């Protein structure tokens, strides 16, 4: 289906190649994951396959590529589109019409399909993807997951044999991500579609793929079955899902016997392990000790109700919540459950229709956002949107000037220190949006922490970060928290929550449905159960509150040493 | 204010006919200045909104109109010095020289506001009753080149996203201590200008992604494209178009014959209502209602 030989590509005005000596063969019916650190060339490789390179993105290109016998260098993407379908990361930017059926028909109209064929193809694909009920809906009324399904359907109706999907689950909550992956598997198995996806979060896709292409700095460093890549290539270790991490680090030689990737295989492997090893009976989990409810909260939300206009529905209902110094809190819930709306109340970007917010015991409703921002730092979901000054230095300077730091020397000294702390000094004169996503997130955090707020509020901070960037970022937040500050984040990243959060709040339809310690909350909510907990739930010998690979290794450590 | 799917048939019927009806009301509003004629024209639009179940929504959108009209009446009355029917006159006023308010200017400002109400209300109904897909089909039917049609519909489709981006950018700046609402009117405007650059950068990034997506959806691949949705004309639709143009011709005729006009300048007269005026406006009302009923019987979009 696809044959790539020694392909190299350097974008215009960039010093180093984005792809270097890539050779790859893809056969009919393959379900391939391309993964690697941010900026390793995953998206560029996709662009070479669908012809966006060189027709849309110019640069220096060498090597050969054949897609279904055609050369994408010679055929434009629009000519290739009937063979190679591409679904992009953000569904919002690939939907052009206002109703679902018109949207799905758009590509077929461009290809000149007759009306009756369009009708039957739309019906067929909608049935395959299980959303015939959405056909008459307006695009604006769809959820993120539904929009991604429509984007997929609008590509599938054009009949491509190859489907490229660039981080298709990145905008989706765990429910929607699982649903989408199951759809892709059925397309792959039922219709023999060749599917290539890129994704950072291996735990979301590992159960479904049959081959991994691992990239690093524009090169393919591994290309084999998932088991082979994950267990044999040290570079893949950092991408390993928690189950793999556990078996890779199991403290006995038995680890060489088992190489499970999926939950199903892990259950079989664990059954064997338990025949030889006994988990520690005295294992005690040391969860974070919740603060005394009588102590003074940093932020107090009492009976908060919010809606955008008098005629709209309530977005937040009866939310009451205290945040204490030193707490690391994760807010979870489905898309549209009111998580971001709740966060925006914490720094005054939104004001409650009913209810009271106290910051350090003072009424926050009377404070401006700027006043609140001195105490409550807010990091937005998309870090790039936070930069608009000419360079990073000026971004910091802008914040300090907003807060009345008139003395240039004081400002310069604060900026220098902050750049150094966040390892950003070398990017001081760089435009913020030109940094990698991990560096952007770090820079966004640095600009907020310039003012030394005591509460940090983050909306999906790990979105788009690769595993290494995520670990660095979360370690920083952890340190910040251990100094008596508080962190509250909204995320769909279950494993991050299991690893770092002290407290989890589950939000549904604008109300808090649960609030407590992660090991008590997460195992009870199906979409939020961490991978390791899904495994241990099958074994009564292992405490059912274990959430992470590190916890589980601890359960076996003394016994096996 | 955007189109929302509605169980009512008018939202789904022939968009080209709806387009012609609303455009015709736009034109009618400039033909007459007699309050009775304007009231009847507005009443027809109200009936249309009630039957289309968009009355409440349309009234909500009108709230901005009242702010605009308030400013318009004040400025128009104060600045328009035409007319002989004086309310207030000061011969020597510092800076201005003299100051005059006339009944003529005041009445003219009210009449212009009423005409503006019909224009704005037909535009509101246009937005509520014609979605971007329908607009696309309408413009194609009017033989506009497809690329221009797509450009227009994409602008409408992405406008709410742009608005969302602006809100986020504004939130980001507020969260970084930048007080957008601080200062006097012009200072506020100057402060808000800083939002434009990130908005532009964002829009450029979005436009790149949109173009990529269009490329991979075979946009402009074939010289001749087909259409999934087409405006389907029934007999009632043809009849309705005939009535629209008939009504337009009749009302232009009335205007030329001097009906529906009352004199405001230079001498203000009292608008009279003659028997023929009542006959004419009743005619406009009946024709308007029949247009709405015919619209309901018209063909669907597909």
For position B301, what pLDDT does the model report?
Answer: 52
At A537, is the secondary structure helix, strand, or coil?
A: coil
Rounded to whole angstroms, the Cα distance separating A138 from B5 reads 7
Yes or no, beta carbons of A98 and B179 under 8 Å apart: no
Rounded to the nearest angstrom, the minimum Cα separation between B28 and chain A is 31
Residue A88 DSSP code: -
Note the pLDDT tens digit of each residue in A483-507. 889 999 999 889 999 999 999 999 9
Rounded to whole angstroms, the Cα distance separating A168 from A492 reads 14
Rounded to the nearest angstrom, the minimum Cα separation between A110 and chain B is 5
Q: Tokens standing for A139?
A: 């695009």
Contacts of B215 in chain A (CB under 8 A): 52, 55-56, 76-78, 81
Closest residue in B to A395 (Cα) is: B176
Number of domains in chain B: 1
Residues in chain A: 561
Rounded to whole angstroms, the Cα distance separating B123 from B119 reads 6
Note the pLDDT tens digit of each residue in A163-180. 999 988 887 788 888 888
Rounded to whole angstroms, the Cα distance separating A440 from A94 reads 25
Contacts of A388 in chain B (CB under 8 A): 169, 194, 197-198, 201
- Rounded CA Rg of chain B: 24
Q: Is residue B182 part of a domain?
A: no
For position A122, what pLDDT does the model report?
Answer: 95
Cα separations in angstroms, B175 against A138, A454, A477, A517: 34, 15, 19, 30
Name the helix (H) or strand (E) containing A332. strand A328-332
Name the helix (H) or strand (E) containing A303. strand A299-306
Rounded to whole angstroms, the Cα distance separating B202 from B180 reads 20
Note the pLDDT tens digit of each residue in B98-153. 889 999 999 999 999 999 999 999 999 988 888 888 888 888 888 899 889 998 88
Q: Are residues A368 and B178 in contact, defined by beta-carbon separation less than 8 angstroms? A: no
Note the pLDDT tens digit of each residue in B28-39. 999 999 999 999
For position A502, what pLDDT does the model report?
Answer: 93
Rounded to the nearest angstrom, the minimum Cα separation between A496 and chain B is 25
- Which of A153-162, A365-374, A504-513 shows the lowest per-residue confidence on average (mean pLDDT)? A365-374
Sheet harboring A362-363: ordered strands across? A316-323, A299-306, A354-359, A362-363
Q: Is the pLDDT of residue A100 over 90?
A: yes
At A36, is the secondary structure helix, strand, or coil?
A: strand
Rounded mean pLDDT, A375-379: 93
For position A297, what pLDDT does the model report?
Answer: 92
Write the residue in A98, A344, A386 that is nearest to B131 by C-beta: A98
Note the pLDDT tens digit of each residue in A336-350. 889 999 999 999 999
Rounded to whole angstroms, the Cα distance separating A41 from B278 reads 76
Instruction: Determine the structural domain holding residue B117 and report its residue range.
Output: 10-137+232-297
The proportion of chain B whose per-residue pLDDT surpasses 90, expressed as a percent, equals: 33
Q: Are residues B28 and B41 in contact, defined by beta-carbon separation less than 8 angstroms? A: yes
Q: Tokens standing for A462?
A: 């790990």
Q: Tokens standing for A177?
A: 């991500």
Per the listing, tokens 């690939």 go with: A94
At A403, is the secondary structure helix, strand, or coil?
A: coil
Q: Is residue B157 part of a domain?
A: no
The crossing angle, in degrees rounded to 10, of helices B15-31 and B275-297 is 160
Q: Is residue B200 part of a domain?
A: no
Q: Report the number of secondary-structure helices (H) and strands (E) in chain A.
A: 21, 19
Rounded to whole angstroms, the Cα distance separating A214 from A224 reads 9
Yes or no, beta carbons of A141 and B132 under 8 Å apart: no
Q: Tokens standing for B282?
A: 């009743």
- Which of A50-54, A278-282, A360-364 shows the lowest per-residue confidence on average (mean pLDDT)? A278-282
At A290, is the secondary structure helix, strand, or coil?
A: coil
Q: What is the mean pLDDT of chain A?
A: 89
Rounded to whole angstroms, the Cα distance separating A117 from B228 reads 10
Q: Is residue B107 part of a domain?
A: yes
Distance of CA A73 to the CA centre of its chain: 32
Q: Are residues A195 and A32 in contact, defined by beta-carbon separation less than 8 angstroms? A: yes
Cα separations in angstroms, A64 against A9, A286, A398: 11, 56, 48
Helical residues (DSSP H) of B130-258, grouped into ranges: 132-141, 146-175, 185-193, 196-216, 235-256
Q: What is the dihedral of CA A73, B209, A43, A46, to 10 degrees?
A: -40
Q: Is residue B166 part of a domain?
A: no
Rounded to whole angstroms, the Cα distance separating A354 from A368 reads 18
Q: Is the pLDDT of residue A28 over 70?
A: yes
* Backbone phi and psi for residue A417, each to the nearest 5 degrees, phi listed first: -60, -45
Yes or no, beta carbons of B179 and A110 under 8 Å apart: no
Q: Tokens standing for A189?
A: 């198995």
Q: Tokens standing for A548?
A: 């992470």
Q: Are residues A222 and A236 in contact, defined by beta-carbon separation less than 8 angstroms? A: yes
At A87, is the secondary structure helix, strand, or coil?
A: strand
Q: Is B181 exposed, middle or buried (0-12, 13-18, 19+ CB in 10 A)?
A: exposed
Closest residue in A to B229 (Cα) is: A102
Write the residue in A56, A109, A447 that is nearest to B226 by C-beta: A109
Which residue, A253, A215, A217, A255, is CA-closest to A233?
A215
Note the pLDDT tens digit of each residue in A106-150. 999 999 999 999 999 999 999 988 888 889 888 888 888 888 889
Rounded to whole angstroms, the Cα distance separating A245 from A266 reads 11
Phi-psi region of A325 (alpha: psi -120 to 50; beta: other; left: phi over 0): beta
Q: What is the DSSP string of A438-451?
A: HHHHHHHHHHHHTT
Bigger pLDDT: A260 vs A282: A260
Q: Is the peptide bond before B266 cis (omega within 30 degrees of 0)?
A: yes
Q: Tokens standing for B244?
A: 């629209």
Read off the pTM.
0.80
Q: Are residues A140 and B2 in contact, defined by beta-carbon separation less than 8 angstroms? A: yes
Rounded mean pLDDT, A277-281: 82
Q: Is residue B3 part of a domain?
A: no
For position B220, what pLDDT does the model report?
Answer: 86
Instruction: Choose, out of A47, A55, A72, A93, the residue to mutate when testing the contact with B (most B CBs < 10 Å).
Output: A93
Cα separations in angstroms, B122 against A24, A154, B42, B43: 59, 34, 9, 12
Closest residue in B to A56 (Cα) is: B212
Write the residue in A94, A111, A369 that is nearest to B222 by C-beta: A111
- Rounded CA Rg of chain A: 25
Residues in chain B: 302
Contacts of A373 in chain B (CB under 8 A): 174-177
Closest residue in B to A137 (Cα) is: B5
CA angle centred on A190, ends A185 and A191, rounded to 5°: 100
Instruction: Choose, out of A110, A118, A367, the residue to mutate when testing the contact with B (most B CBs < 10 Å).
Output: A110
Q: Tokens standing for B203?
A: 């829009």
Yes or no, beta carbons of B227 and A140 under 8 Å apart: no
Yes or no, beta carbons of A380 and B219 under 8 Å apart: no
Q: Is residue B23 part of a domain?
A: yes
Ordered mean pLDDT values, 10 residues apiece, chain B (302 residues) = 60 84 91 93 94 89 86 89 88 81 92 93 90 84 89 86 89 86 79 84 89 91 86 86 92 90 88 90 92 79 52
Rounded to whole angstroms, the Cα distance separating B30 from B249 reads 14
Contacts of A340 in chain B (CB under 8 A): none
Q: Is the pLDDT of residue A531 over 80?
A: yes
Phi-psi region of B136 (alpha: psi -120 to 50; beta: other; left: phi over 0): alpha
Contacts of B15 in chain A (CB under 8 A): none
Q: Is the dihedral of CA B65, B68, B72, B73 positive or negative?
A: positive
Write the residue in B175, B198, B215 that is nearest to A77 by C-beta: B215
């Amino acid at each position: 289906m696809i044959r790539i030989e020694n392909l190299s590509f350097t974008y215009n005005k960039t010093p180093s190649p984005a792809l270097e000596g890539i050779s790859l063969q893809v056969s009919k019916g393959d379900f391939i994951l391309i993964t690697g650190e941010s900026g390793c060339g995953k998206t560029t490789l996709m662009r070479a396959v669908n012809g966006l390179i060189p027709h849309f993105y110019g640069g220096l290109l060498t090597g050969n590529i054949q897609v279904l016998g055609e050369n994408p260098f010679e055929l434009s993407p629009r000519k290739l589109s009937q063979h190679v379908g591409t679904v992009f990361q953000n569904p919002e930017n690939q939907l052009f019409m206002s109703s679902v059926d018109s949207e799905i028909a758009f590509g077929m109209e461009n290809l000149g399909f007759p009306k009756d064929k369009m009708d039957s193809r739309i019906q067929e694909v909608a049935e395959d993807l299980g959303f015939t009920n959405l056909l008459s809906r307006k695009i604006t009324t769809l959820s993120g997951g539904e929009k991604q399904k429509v984007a997929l359907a609008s590509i599938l109706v054009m009949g491509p044999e190859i489907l490229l999907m660039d981080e298709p689950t990145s905008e989706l909550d765990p429910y929607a991500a699982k649903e989408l992956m199951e759809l892709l598997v059925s397309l792959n198995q039922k219709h023999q579609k060749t599917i290539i996806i890129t994704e950072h979060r291996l735990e979301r896709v590992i159960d479904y793929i049959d081959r991994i292409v691992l990239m690093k700095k524009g090169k393919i460093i591994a290309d084999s079955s998932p088991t082979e890549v994950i267990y044999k290539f040290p570079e893949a270790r950092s991408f390993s899902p928690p189950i793999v991490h556990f078996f890779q680090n199991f403290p006995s030689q038995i680890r060489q016997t088992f190489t499970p990737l999926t939950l199903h295989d892990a259950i079989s492997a664990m059954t064997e392990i338990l025949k030889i090893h006994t988990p520690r009976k005295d294992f005690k989990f040391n969860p974070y000790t919740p603060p005394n409810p009588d102590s003074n909260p940093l932020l107090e939300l009492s009976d908060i109700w919010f809606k955008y206009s008098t005629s709209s529905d309530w977005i937040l209902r009866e939310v009451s919540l205290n945040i204490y110094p030193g707490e690391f809190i994760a807010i979870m819930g489905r898309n549209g459950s009111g998580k971001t709306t709740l966060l925006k109340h914490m720094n005054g970007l939104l004001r409650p229709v009913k209810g009271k917010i106290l910051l350090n015991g003072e009424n926050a409703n009377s404070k401006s956002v700027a006043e609140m921002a001195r105490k409550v730092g807010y990091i937005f979901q998309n870090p790039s949107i936070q930069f608009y000054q000419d360079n990073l230095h000026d971004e910091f300077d802008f914040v300090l000037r907003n807060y009345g730091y008139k003395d240039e020397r004081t400002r310069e000294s604060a900026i220098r220190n902050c750049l150094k702390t966040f390892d950003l000094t070398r990017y001081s004169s760089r435009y913020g949006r030109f940094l990698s996503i991990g560096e952007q997130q770090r820079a966004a955090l640095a600009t907020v922490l310039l003012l030394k707020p005591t509460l940090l509020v983050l909306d999906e901070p790990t979105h788009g970060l690769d595993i290494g960037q995520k670990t660095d970022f979360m370690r920083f937040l952890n340190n910040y928290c251990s100094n008596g500050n508080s962190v509250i984040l909204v995320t769909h990243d279950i494993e991050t929550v299991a690893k770092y959060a002290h407290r989890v709040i589950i939000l549904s339809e604008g109300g808090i449905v649960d609030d407590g310690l992660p090991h008590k909350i997460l195992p009870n909510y199906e979409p939020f159960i961490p991978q390791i907990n899904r495994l241990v739930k099958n074994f009564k010998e292992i405490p059912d509150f274990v959430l992470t690979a590190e916890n589980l290794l601890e359960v076996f450590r003394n016994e096996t040493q | 204010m955007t189109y929302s799917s509605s169980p009512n048939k008018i939202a789904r019927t022939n968009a080209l006919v709806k387009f012609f009806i609303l455009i015709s009301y736009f034109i009618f509003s400039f033909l007459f200045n007699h309050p009775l004629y304007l009231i009847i024209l507005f009443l027809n639009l109200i009936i249309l909104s009630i039957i289309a179940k968009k009355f409440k929504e349309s009234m909500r959108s009108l709230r901005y109109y009242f702010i605009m009209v308030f400013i318009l009446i004040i400025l128009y009355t104060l600045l328009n010095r035409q007319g002989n029917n004086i309310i207030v006159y000061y011969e020597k006023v510092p800076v201005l020289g003299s100051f005059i308010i006339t009944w003529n200017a005041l009445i003219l400002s009210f009449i212009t506001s009423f005409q503006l109400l019909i224009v704005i209300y037909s535009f509101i109904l246009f937005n509520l009753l014609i979605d971007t897909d329908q607009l696309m089909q309408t413009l194609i039917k009017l033989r506009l080149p497809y690329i221009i049609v797509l450009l227009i519909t994409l602008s409408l489709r992405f406008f709410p996203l742009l608005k969302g981006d602006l809100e986020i950018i504004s939130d980001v700046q507020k969260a970084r201590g930048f007080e957008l609402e601080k200062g006097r009117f012009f200072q506020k405007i100057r402060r808000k200008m800083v939002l434009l650059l990130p908005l532009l950068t964002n829009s450029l990034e979005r436009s790149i992604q949109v173009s990529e997506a269009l490329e991979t959806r075979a946009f402009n691949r074939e010289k001749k494209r087909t259409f999934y949705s087409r405006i389907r004309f029934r007999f009632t639709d043809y009849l309705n178009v005939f009535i629209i143009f008939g009504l337009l011709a009749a009302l232009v005729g009335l205007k030329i014959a001097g009906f529906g006009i009352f004199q405001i300048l230079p001498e203000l007269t009292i608008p009279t209502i003659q028997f023929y005026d009542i006959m004419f406006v009743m005619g406009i009302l009946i024709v308007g209602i029949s247009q709405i009923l015919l619209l309901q019987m018209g063909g669907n979009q597909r």
